[in-house]
Amino acid sequence: MNYLAHVHLANVTNTSKTGSLLGDFVKGQVSGLNFDNEIKQGIQLHRSIDSFTDAHRYTRSLTVQLGKLRRYGGIIIDVLYDHQLALNFDQFHHQSLNRFAKECYAELDTELAALPDSYVKTVKAMKQMDWLSGYGELPNIERALIGISKRLKRPVDLTQCLDWYQTNQDNIELGFSEFYTDLINFACKQVMNNSKN
């Protein structure tokens, strides 16, 4: 999943939003990281969510449809899922997306000494340009894919997927609701099980 889904799932599970994003910026065993337990829990949940998403039958079915971009399916589908979540946010949350985004920006920490520079820069840009609310607009999804394309070891134009996405968007939206409900249930169970240990 991408940024919007991770912070939303952190909200649903009452876990750290900072930790929920840090999963993309730190490597290694969570137990060895220099963060408090709340942030570590968020990082671990992030990793579990990514694994669940990649293995889910719906994600795999969409990835197959990407043809020559299938190799980058995990990246592409994550971004498209954020677009779907933004478009259907009222189905999964009691607040508007704009209000939720503002509250997230206030909660995301950029001051901790242990935070990687790449995380701090990303979150500051996210706040300044309101990425979370922006995921509802397809041109912003295109910009996100362009940015990711440039950061790949071998740059590839990931925006080539958008013609396929727009052609199939109605069907994708129908499947997304069931998938994301599965993901919410999984995330809640993960946190509940971990709290028992």
Structure pTM?
0.94
Using one digit for the tens of pLDDT, what is the confidence trace for 113-131? 889 999 999 999 999 999 9
Using one digit for the tens of pLDDT, what is the confidence trace for 15-44? 999 999 999 999 988 888 888 899 999 999
Query: Which tokens in the block code for residue 138?
Result: 């397809």
Using one digit for the tens of pLDDT, what is the confidence trace for 151-166? 888 889 999 999 999 9
Contact, 76 vs 163, CB < 8 A? no
Query: From CA 92, how far away is CA 115, in angstroms rounded?
Result: 30
78 pLDDT more than 90:
yes
Supply the angle between the helices 37-55 and 73-87 in degrees, to the nearest 10. Answer: 100
Contact, 61 vs 54, CB < 8 A? no
109 pLDDT more than 90:
no
Query: Which tokens in the block code for residue 64?
Result: 């197959």
Residues 6+ apart with CB under 8 A from 8: 85, 92, 93, 100
Query: Which tokens in the block code for residue 1?
Result: 């999943």
Map residue 109 onto helix, strand or coil: coil
